Amino acid sequence: MGESGERMEEIRLEIGAGDNPRSGYIHLDSRKLPGIEIVANADKIPLDNELCKEIYAANILEHFSWRKTEDVLKEWFRILSKGGRIELYVPDFDNLRQMENIEKALWFIYGDQDYDDNYHKAGFTFDSLKSKMLNVGFENIKRLHCIDNWALHIEGYK
C-alpha cells in the first residue's frame, strides 16, 4: 500500500537480478548492486500481497535448499497478483546428466561459488519443478523454449 492507503500499481519484479538487471522490471537481489531497487532475500520479500503482475526469476531458485523450494515458491505466489505470471529459469538436471562435458555440467550443478551464497543447493527437472509449483497453487505450468542446453525455462500463473 502507498502512504495514502491506496493500493500501489502492480509491478513486474525480477528476483535475483544480480549484476545484470533486465529492463522493464523492479529488481530484487540480496546484494546492493547498481540497478537493484530492493535489497532483500528472495524468500522474504518486503512487498504487499498480490502486488506483482509478473515475476521473473532466473538462476535463483536453485540457491535455496531443496527442502525450502516450496516455501520460496509460496513467498513468490504470495506477492503475485491473481492471473499474474511467473517465469523461472533454472538448471535442468535432465539435460545436465546428458552433457558430454562433465566439467561444464558440474559448474551448472554446483554454481559459480565466487561469492557467499553463490552455491546451488537444489536441482530440478521439468516434472519435479512442475509438481512443486502445483503444490503451491500455480496453474497452467508449461515448459518454454530454451536455447541453453543446460537450462529449464518454465512459466506458470496464479
- Indicate whether 5 belongs to any domain: no
What interhelical angle do 126-136 and 69-79 show, nearest 10? 50
- Indicate whether 69 belongs to any domain: yes
Average pLDDT, the chain: 88
- Indicate whether 6 belongs to any domain: no
3-state secondary structure of 32: coil
pLDDT digits (tens, 9 = 90+) for 37-61: 999 999 999 999 999 999 999 999 9
Query: Considering the entire predicted model, what is its pTM?
Result: 0.87
pLDDT at 22 over 80: yes
Q: How do the residues of the chain divide into helix, strand and coil, expressed in percent and rounded to 5?
A: 25, 30, 45
Exposed, middle or buried: residue 157 (CB in 10 Å: 0-12, 13-18, 19+)? middle
- Indicate whether 3 belongs to any domain: no
- Indicate whether 150 belongs to any domain: yes
| Number of compact structural domains in the chain | 1
Exposed, middle or buried: residue 150 (CB in 10 Å: 0-12, 13-18, 19+)? middle
- Indicate whether 153 belongs to any domain: yes
User: Quick one: CA dihedral 134, 136, 142, 147, positive or negative?
Assistant: negative
User: At 11, is the pLDDT very low, low, confident or very high (cuts 50, 70, 90)?
Assistant: very high
pLDDT digits (tens, 9 = 90+) for 125-148: 999 999 999 999 999 999 999 887
What CATH number should be reported for the domain holding residue 66?
Answer: 3.40.50.150
User: Which 3-state string (H, E, C) describes 138-153?
Assistant: CEEEEECCCCCCCEEE
pLDDT value at residue 121: 81
Closest CA to 17 of 7, 2, 31, 5: 31
Q: Which domain holds residue 19?
A: 11-157
pLDDT at 6 over 60: no
